[in-house]
Amino acid sequence: MLGLSLMISLTMASAGTMTARGAMTQATDSDPLARESKVLKVHPAGPVDGKNLVMHDVILSRDIWPKRHSYHWLDDGHYLTYSVSGGYMKVDAESGACETYDPRAAADSSKIKIQKSISEAGGILVNQDLGGRYVYTKGNGLYWMDSSLVERTVNQPESKQIVCGQSVSRNEFGINEGSYPSPDGRLLAYYRKDESKVTDFPLLDINTRTGSLMTTKYPMNGMDSEYLELHVYDFSSSRDVVCKVEDFGQDRYLTNISWSPDSKYVFIQVLDRTQKHLRLNMYKASDGSFVKTILTEDDSRFVEPLDHIYFLKGTELFIYRTNNRDGYRNLYLCDYEGRVARLTKVDADVAYVDNDGVNVFYTSAEVSPVENHLFKIQVRPGKGKAAADASAARFSAPLALTPEEGWHTVSLSEDCKLFIDSYSSFNVPGVENLRRTSDGSLVREISHSEDPLASYATGEMDFGTVKSADGKYDNYYRLYKPKGFDSSKKYPVVLYVYGGPHSQMVKDSWLGEIRMWEMYMAQRGYLVYVQDNRGTENRGKDFEQAIHDQCGQNEMADQMVGINMLKSLPYVDADRIGVHGWSYGGFMTISLMTNYPETFKVGVAGGPVIDWKWYEVMYGERYMDTMETNPEGFAKTSLINKAKDLKGKLLICQGAVDKTVVWENSLSFVRECIKNNVQLDYFPYPCAEHNVRGKDRIHLMDKVTAYFDDNL
């Protein structure tokens, strides 16, 4: 499977010890797990007299990144890409012949007129060309328009506390849309969200003459949440029906809305408020009546649905993904009677890509959790009456379609015969190939990126593993060394951390999924270390759920194994270790600073969660339950209780109009520090939300950098 041989390299691991790729580095006797770290790959240093990065380029420049192209399949034999000179190019997939392409010229005039009318009416287009109909939201209502240019109402609630046709549940559970057209375009399923019981959190807008308060709906842990309905609207008759969901009470979640191929049925993955019980239910689209529960999932920790169901083309069999049955997010072939056959029999997380009615295509971490590869499995349904029986289907062995090591992102043609494969690996900046799905054979190379940092003064970079604190897993890391690195000298360390769910900071992609500020800091004389830990994604259910009811605890334990490994290296100044992270990483930063004050001298935390009682219902209750059901966990993880233990220099940066981690978190920590006469530094960004973006981010990262320069 590994098309490129892994690089054999030598690097200083400890005093007097040279290690080859895969060899163990040495560590102190105080942490035997740290002895089991391995350097897997090394990226050589750049020219000592090369260029230095500047913060403007780190934040805003595209020139220091490998060239990437976006692709959109126009039809089975042609795709669109954006040319370097501007504008779209239509490319013949097989030959590579190009011609300019103007999407406006290809669009019919009525489509352009409809879209213009929607825009002029203040609408936001969400679904287009449903039999000539275009669906859009405006304010809190949902509308549609056709060539008559007459605005027609799907649902316009009288109360501003109710919203129709927009995403719900704060975009958790894989929800990114608010409406779902039927396959035949005649019907529209959409969310109706009632937030009348959800508390308002105040935010200060300083852009008005005297300042003004604006509010955001923020359902905090254990408090009232939104109430959801799923409606089905008929364009022809204007009839609107509500799906009769009677499971789990009013505060249940309605997730991953899907349609049957014949447009007769709607499927809802109904999840209870505790997120421990799920039912895949089937409803009649004509009247919203409940038909049956097809599948159920139960787990004492949590069940997290993230995917729609996908029908095998030409059949009534569907593909379903869960990690609740075999310990990893695998694909299952299912039918309306609840019969289930495991499609991907692999101890690795996989993700559905597409199917052509014969082959199911998916990406998988089975080669390595830091690699992503495309596979296919052929499905042979049963004959006659057994055609609708998932258990009667037979599957071929999986076939790998991406031979080169690294992280592959794929785009399949509509007929699933060709795919564009964009990949990179630690020492490969980027390659884009056109391949056949029949066997993965190469049609042609589309592009090959050169190293954009080749002329920069960069230090050597390591890619490796260190054991988790429980000894069960290899956690992956990347380590950037200073320019002009001298193993006989000692260097300060900056740990950049996120560590939370739905993240993977380290991949076998170019330079290990680098963030350019890390390179910038390495050029300034720091060792910069980034490591994944238990609780992050793509490693299976037990790895991901290790944080349940105790966010931060196992994550910190894993990070400290990595830190102890670093302390064992002769060139690490163990008295000068700092940490920086944002959001969950901000929570981790302060957690590490207060739980390990003897290790971390300086920290910069951005938008940190301080106490999970102040975080929102959907995410927070999944991982921490509630204060009533998990009082010990809330007490143990609260940083309010840890403020008195802060010893090092800490800077907190906070967007003052943050709607994700509200200001109550960091201000409450500041207040607790004041109560305990503990000094810290605080810097708000008055107009920033959860992330500081654009040119303001240059100011932010200059401030973060200066804080380490001045204090570490």
Tell me how many degrees the CA angle 646-220-553 measures, rounded to the nearest 5: 40
Q: Are 619 and 527 in contact (CB under 8 A)?
A: no
Residue with tokens 């993977």: 504
DSSP state of 452: T
Cβ within 8 Å of residue 205, ≥6 positions away: 211, 212, 213, 214, 657
Structure tokens at 504: 């993977």
Pinpoint the alpha helices (H) of 16-70.
Answer: 55-60
Q: Are 177 and 165 in contact (CB under 8 A)?
A: no
Closest C-alpha among 335, 444, 348 to residue 385: 335
Tell me how many degrees the CA angle 107-111-115 measures, rounded to the nearest 5: 120
Q: How far apart are CA 258 and CA 308, in angstroms?
A: 6
Residue with tokens 């008005």: 208
Closest C-alpha among 175, 176, 166, 157 to residue 135: 166
Q: Are 601 and 647 in contact (CB under 8 A)?
A: no
Structure tokens at 406: 């690294």
Cα 92 from chain centre? 33
How far, CA to CA in Å, does 324 sit from each of 297, 301, 329, 393? 7, 11, 8, 22
Task: Tell me which amino acid residue 202 is.
Answer: P
Q: Are 335 and 389 in contact (CB under 8 A)?
A: yes
Query: Which pairing describes strands 330-334 and 187-194: parallel, antiparallel, or unpaired?
Result: unpaired
Active site includes 583? yes
Query: Which pairing describes strands 187-194 and 152-155: parallel, antiparallel, or unpaired?
Result: unpaired
Q: Are 573 and 45 in contact (CB under 8 A)?
A: no
Buried b (16+ CB within 10 A) or exposed e, 247-279: bbeebbbbbbbbbbbebebbbbbbbbbbbbbbb
Q: Are 305 and 256 in contact (CB under 8 A)?
A: yes
Structure tokens at 81: 């890409």
Element at 333 (helix H, strand E): strand 330-334
Q: Are 34 and 565 in contact (CB under 8 A)?
A: yes
Catalytic residue among 299, 690, 696, 699: 690
| 703 three-state secondary structure | helix
Catalytic residue among 424, 558, 658, 666: 658
How far, CA to CA in Å, does 132 sit from each of 112, 127, 144, 145? 12, 11, 10, 8
Active site includes 408? no
Q: Are 571 and 604 in contact (CB under 8 A)?
A: no
Q: Are 341 and 386 in contact (CB under 8 A)?
A: no
Q: How far apart are CA 469 and CA 262, in angstroms?
A: 51
Q: How far apart are CA 421 and CA 436, in angstroms?
A: 10
Task: Tell me which amino acid residue 629 is.
Answer: T
Catalytic residue among 583, 591, 638, 666: 583
Residue with tokens 């076998």: 508
Closest C-alpha among 527, 537, 474, 531 to residue 501: 537
Query: Which pairing describes strands 681-685 and 649-655: parallel, antiparallel, or unpaired?
Result: parallel
**Which of the residues are catalytic?**
583, 658, 690
